[in-house]
Structure 1
Amino acid sequence: MEFNEYQQAANRTLYGNEQVLTNCALGLAGETGQVVDLVKKYTFHGKDLDHDAIVKEMGDVLWYLSQIAQWADIDFDEVAQANIKRLNARYPHGYQPNR
């Protein structure tokens, strides 16, 4: 699935009023916190990294990001492409620590 396809499919589940951007930003923060909590439990509490839970939470993060882009009239493909372009410029030979 392409990013723009995902964005359009996800948009069918968006509900909101004039505060939809605020709702999506707050939702993004909350879902990001849930991803962080899973990593924290794995790293510091000796828990197994729950594959299904992290996939679910990452999907929720993706949904909120796509809907913020939708609200701002930005194609989600543009976000992904701009990020890769910036990473390639910053790390033309890939990330290499201590260089």
Structure 2
Amino acid sequence: MNLNEYQQKANKTLAGNEHVLTNLTLGLASDSGLVVDRIKRYAFQGQDLEPDKLKDELGDVLWYLSQIALWADIPLDDVAKANLATLAKKYPEAKL
């Protein structure tokens, strides 16, 4: 599955109303915070990383990100390609 396919399938789970963009943005921030907290607890408090839980939280972040992009009519593949182009300029030694 590519990112655009994921984006379209994930959209079937979006319950929208007039505040959908606000909901998506707050959800992205909130779930990103959960990822940050898990890494913090691993790095500084000696807790297990628990990769399965981290994967679930990263999936939630991906869902919110994909739906914000879809709301703005931006294919997620385009986001990834643009980011790689930016990274290639920043890090030419990486030969992306």
With normalisation by structure 2, the TM-score equals 0.95
Deviation sequence 1:46-91 (CA, Å, 0-9, x none): 0111111100000000000000001001111100000001100111
- How big is the alpha-carbon RMSD for the aligned residues of Structure 1 and Structure 2? 0.6
User: Structure 1-normalised TM-score?
Assistant: 0.93
Give the drift of 1:19: 0.9
Distance in 2 of aligned mates of 1:80 and 1:15: 25
- 1:36 paired with 2:36, answer yes
Higher helix share: 2
How far the C-alpha of 1:33 sits from its partner, in A, is 0.4
Report matched runs for 1:1-99 at 5 Å: 1-94=1-94
Q: Give unmatched runs, 5+ long, in structure 1.
A: 95-99
Q: Which runs of 4+ in 1 moved over 3 A?
A: none
What fraction of aligned residue pairs are identical, expressed as a percent?
60
